Chain A
Amino acid sequence: MRASEPSPRTGVMFCSCRGEISGGLGMEELKAYARGLPDVVFVGESSALCEKKGQDGLQKAITENKLDRVVVAGCTPRVFEETVGRALVAAGLNRYMLEMANLREQCVWPHRDKKRATEKAKLMLAAAVARASLLEPLHGGRLGMKRAALVIGGGVAGMQAARDIADAGNDVVLVEATGKLGGRTYQLSTTFPTHECKPDGCCIHYCRECILTPKIEDVMQHPKINVMLNSKLEEFGGVFGNYHAKIKSPEGVVDIEAGTVVVATGSRTIDPTKLPEFGYGRFKDVITFLELEEMIVAARSGDNQLHRPSDGKVPGTIDFIQCVGSRDSTGRGKAHCSLVCCTYAIGQAKELKKRYPGARIFVHYIDLRGPYRGFEEHYREAREMGIEFVRGRVAEVLCEKDGMVVVGEDIDSGKLLKIRSDLVVLAVGQEAAEGTDRLSTIFHIPLDTDGFLREYNPAFDMLRRKGIAVAGCAAGPKGIRYSVQDARAAAAALNEIMRSGEVAVPDVKAEVDEARCSGCRQCETLCPTGAISMRQLPDFRRMTRRWVAYVTPSQCASCGACAMACPSKAILLSNYKMKQLMAQIEALT
């Protein structure tokens, strides 16, 4: 501290918590001890600082004794820092000129031995007073933000998020890589178990026409949504509230400005050729569920018959193989459950059974998993229709002289089954879409163990500090309605962020001492919110320019990871600076 600065005037206010604290500690001894601590000019006691009366007393003590900082020795700052802070603000001090010694939760309550508890309380007081002498006033604030969202991915999740955000009056740019909106949902002939309208299968429409077309039109025609098809995200930068992106579209590269982002890039199906035992790619009549969807769609617009790929024959025996590439611990597939495959396989089996009641349909499964409303009824109906459910893994699909044979076990009967099959449908699982790792780097969103973008726990600050949300299958496999719900939740959170048109700047944040920063960029890579970027400063001594770290204040989540890593100690977390913590440590030992 410079000599010209007046020395701190610290006041120590004990809160007896109506005997809760004073009953378990030697209060007079502590008060005498506190008076002897450096910079302490006032020691007082209140019966309850959480009450108005106690706060008024604290306020009076601050004014009368010209205190410039206060140590409250009472309860936990986790709960009462805000409350007690109000008294400081009322007395004209900055809220952060307060330090609390947690004598209740972490001293009196867990230690019944009064003498030893008092000894510990002394240390806690000494540390709090040492730290208090080094406190600095902190100021947050608000910054303007752009009330616009960039939505990446035009599947059901992306469309829903775009619409909800646009309906709230914000501008939206929806970027879709392919030539049409609708994503995976657009490839489906029907959706199960929510949308089965005609039991005889005579409806000439695809379900997508009823469900998706109006939605797509809503999005395409929405005055607040700019849909960019065949476009890709090229570059992304800027800060929370004022992001800018370069989108490569058929019309050229377009610059976009947005305050928030929704990542709804979906998933992709696992490549079944990685599991050669099922014969995909070798046998024409082994197809994926998506190819079956195409066949059903083709049938509806053609002669209403299903023709298998090899010879166009209508299949008489159909085998569905579940968990292809999912729940696979061998490393060839993915370890996770893809969640939706049981539901759609049963749906497809029912669709086929309705068309061909004489056909034999087998579903080979490990476990049937459908924790969805309506799944149980959906499954029961399938059993009643005569679809045969076989529990057990399929070993392989063989091609013999007179056709394909599915070899697998039937756990319930304990037998090895050999089924002569006309068509084998693989329920391939879902994995993270191509380029997910790139998005993870661009948006600073970690990947989970399955390679999907990690969902944010809504209780956490990260969404509020970044305004980047993940929706739909990009965060893991989901059914359509759960993707839609996810998108609505993301949109609601972002709408709330954008409502005021301002971004809050946290009071406690990392700050860079540019004179000390050597531009090593360690902090930049460690920051969990991507708040740190590099900027150039003129270096007059060397007649050149040099790079220094810059913290975007609105984006800082105040974790201190940067401050810890900085080799020059040029970046510091306010209120948790090294000198403050060192003073605490010295006082403790």
Chain B
Amino acid sequence: MSNIGLNSNIYHSTRAYLDLLNNYLIDVNYAKETGKPYSNEEVLEFFKRLSEKSLIDPEAQLLRSFFNRFYKEKSKDTEKELSNIAKHLQNADLDHKTLKDIGALVDVLKFQCSQSYARMKGVR
């Protein structure tokens, strides 16, 4: 059985949230240079959703599993880290560390996106 159906799902999911976080970082950077306002809402919703203890949505479970692997390698607690990002976003307190943390998650999604894309095209 091919794993294209599975990877097509992973690709489209990770791709959508990669766009969300990448665009958010672009807005933040631009605001720093120009003072133009931007919205936290969608990104905050994303982190709040992933920090929930009892996730039932398979797509959110999948994304959290990817983040979980990343945090485990760094001996960090996923729930704590994601809640912490959500807290900073909620308080509009975007310090350097929070932005770096979001940037690291962009890299996680970039990796998963590229990997699933390669597998959709038949590369193992």
Q: Do A and B come from one complex?
A: no
B-binding residues in A (CB < 8 A): none
